[in-house]
Structure 1
Amino acid sequence: MGPGALEVADIFRAHGPAFRLAQRSHLSLGQLKVMTAIEQCRTAALGGHVLRCPDCQHDQVSYNSCRNRHCPKCQAHAAKRWLQARQADLLPVDYYHVVFTLPAPISDIAYYNKAVVYGLLFEIAAETLTTIAADPKHLGAEVGVTLVLHTWGSALTHHPHVHGIVPGGGLSPDGKRWVSCKPGFFLSVWVLSRLFRRRFLQALEEAQRAGKLQFFGDSANLADPKAFARWLAPLRKIEWVVYAKRPFAGPSAVLAYLSRYTHRVAIANSRLLAMDERGVTFRWKDYRDKSNPDRPRHKTMTLTFEEFMRRFLLHVLPGGFHRIRHFGLIANNARKEKLALARELLGVVPAVAAVQITDAHAASDEPVRTNFVCPHCGAQMIVVESFVRAQTIRAPPLARGGL
């Protein structure tokens, strides 16, 4: 297979059955469901429909998607739908990109406590940003924060961190003016890092005392509060990675960034290079290689099939866990009112969201349909037959007048 042709689904279909058998006592129900969804995505197992071009009479079978949030093939459309809804939330100000990362020892115990630790990562990162921003010594305003959880490094290792998108300013405490940050500077990352470290360790210790954490293997002794306190002590002295990037070049750049990050999965099919007797070869970026700081550190890595699938499945999230969350003035419970106030103070009219165009179209009598384009002549294809999942697929129906 050449570059770009290989998919995660190909690897699971070819080597998933043996992997399930070998790891049957170690795979969770959620991981098994993800494997099955990816294997069946856009295959006859999920049903589909037959398309016909009315101009050239070309027929084509199109299979349904699994829509699993861990599937590399299903996230592009989900990202577009989400971005349409977010366009109306953008304000005409600079936006900043902030990242909060957990140190490796906490990442290790996070794997067995995903819901608790990932939840704390969201909660404490948002609390840190809103607390420091509200401090008059720094900004003195209520800011809006969108956080997106990523649990992987470029080599598919377990590396939990959240990406934050924050406008460069916020509402004053009395709600009567918009407070802008200094040009090109949002908040001190040193101050953010210290508060994030202190509050996260406090919350993690509270979770352990409340019996909310599980420990296995070499970490089993951490169930004892005293042993856990000793384990936490070194983490209070190391640097926790928190950084902020320069502001985006306008709202369009914010949306472009979000489209790449919000619905990303552990590895995109485009990074896969080969599947052969050695295993799976893919591209990755080595951030620790400082040999040439001015150029991307792209390398290739080959993993056995078992190790590739194990690493991919490390990043399956708990059922119902939300990996995109909003806080502050864009929190879901008050977003509409606070954004309207912010626009009024900034002297701008609300942005027209792409979703509004869709709503206007939906209000007409004409139903909204997905456009399928004929690969031969470019005309719009129509659905002439549908089949449900697990239903036997027949040959495409003959064109009118055929035998």
Structure 2
Amino acid sequence: QVMSAVETCRTAVLGGHVAACTKCDHQHIAYNSCRNRHCPKCQGSAAQDWMQARMEDLLPVEYFHVVFTLPAPIADIAYHNKAAVYGLLFKASAQTLLTIAVDPKHLGARIGMTSVLHTWGSAMTHHPHVHVIVPGGGLSADGTRWIGCRSGFFLPVKVLSRLFRRLFLEGLARLHKTGKLKFFSNLSGLADPDTFATHLAPLRRTEWVVYAKPPFGGPEAALAYLSRYTHRVAISNRRLVSVDADTVAFRWKDYRIKRGNRMKVMRLPTDEFVRRFLTHVLPSGFHRIRHAGFLANGIRRDRIAMIRCLIDRAQEPDQMAEEEAPTGADEEDQLQPCPKCGGPMRII
């Protein structure tokens, strides 16, 4: 279904409309988009719409960006158990932040967060991780005070990493015990409980990667920063360098290089390129954007209003009106001025 959508996107197969210039009669055909969430051409306007809907949730505080990454042996298990393991990744990362933040030794507050799942690295290999944007503070235990974090510091990443590791491995063991994990090919032996426990044992002693930093700019910049993650797909059209019947070349970033130019060009056989792209198709109905804490869907609106009162700083709507126009390939769906004379176009 995903491949059919990507192949037919912006073609006559999906229909479209003809627009004509009201001045010089120049005509332009615009074909419809597939609107599939995995299509590189359909995410520009979707990200913009999502960002506009989230504007009312912004708080006038510092925002932080936290990334939780799964080790390679876990990623291999996730490859065949996407819904179960990706769901556990969301749950364990959110529970980690909520638990450490509410601890009086750290922040001592009930926080909120928005999490976005990514499953790829720059070379389109399988690399599951979640990006979390967190307001820098939370509600006191009795709900009567806003407790802000120290400027430039949210929570200690080493503490987050160790709790995340424990919660995730405990959850993974429960999934295995209840028969919710399937194993194939060279991982088929992990169906045995003892073999599975032996496979996970080294992971209990290694450091898991948790990364945290404040995004640049104010709340609006933090939201714009997150919107670039929410509707990103495994590869965008602008990274493609060349393509023919046998190979696809694209730009990727080599993170192993600490300094200098990290950008390289990778050439893959066409079938391998397609295989890597399809690796990141999510299970049907799986939500890749989730909210937790005081930003959870059921309570978000009331909590945001209460928090604004507590920090005694009402949000000015005019501050958020000057956003950039929608970007990305979906701009073609808008009625642009006539390319010949600049006159207004009209659908005929």
Question: Shared topology, TM-score over 0.5?
Answer: yes
Letter in 1 for 2:338: C
Structure 2 equivalent of residue 321 of structure 1: 286
Matches of 2:215 and 2:46, distance apart in 1: 26
Q: CA deviation at 1:131?
A: 0.7
Matches of 1:302 and 1:195, distance apart in 2: 39
The alignment partner of 2:50 has SS state of: helix
The alignment partner of 1:373 has SS state of: coil
1:265 equivalent among 216, 233, 252: 233
User: CA offsets, 1:119-158, max 9 Å, x none?
Assistant: 0000110000011001111001111111000000000000
Matched, 1:121 2:89: yes
Q: CA deviation at 1:347?
A: 1.0
Letter in 2 for 1:378: G
The alignment partner of 2:80 has SS state of: coil
User: CA offsets, 1:69-107, max 9 Å, x none?
Assistant: 010000001001000001111111100000000000010
Structure 2 equivalent of residue 37 of structure 1: 5
User: CA offsets, 1:323-353, max 9 Å, x none?
Assistant: 1111001000100010001100111224539
Q: CA deviation at 1:375?
A: 1.7
Letter in 1 for 2:158: W
Q: CA deviation at 1:261?
A: 1.0
Q: TM-score, normalization: structure 2? A: 0.94
| Structure 1 segments (4+ residues) deviating >6 Å | 353-357
The alignment partner of 1:91 has SS state of: coil
Task: Give the % identical residues.
Answer: 62
Structure 2 equivalent of residue 289 of structure 1: 257
Matched, 1:344 2:312: no
Matched, 1:333 2:301: no
The alignment partner of 2:291 has SS state of: strand
Distance 1:72 1:247, change over 3 A: closer
Matches of 1:353 and 1:156, distance apart in 2: 40
The alignment partner of 1:382 has SS state of: strand
**Structure 1: gaps of 5 or more residues:** 1-32, 358-368, 385-403
- Does structure 1 conserve the Cα–Cα contact (< 8 Å) formed by 2:70 and 2:127? yes
Q: CA deviation at 1:251?
A: 1.8
User: CA offsets, 1:133-185, max 9 Å, x none?
Assistant: 01111001111111000000000000000000001101111111110111110
Matched, 1:376 2:344: no
Matches of 1:123 and 1:236, distance apart in 2: 19
1:234 equivalent among 202, 206, 212: 202
Matches of 1:245 and 1:42, distance apart in 2: 39
Would you say how many aligned residue pairs link Structure 1 and Structure 2? 338
Structure 2 equivalent of residue 389 of structure 1: none
Moved more, 239-248 or 46-55: 239-248
Structure 1 equivalent of residue 148 of structure 2: 180
The alignment partner of 1:306 has SS state of: helix
Letter in 1 for 2:26: H
Structure with bigger gyration radius: 1
Matched, 1:159 2:127: yes
Q: CA deviation at 1:246?
A: 3.1
Q: TM-score, normalization: structure 1? A: 0.81
RMSD: 1.8
Matches of 2:231 and 2:131, distance apart in 1: 12
Distance 1:45 1:354, change over 3 A: farther
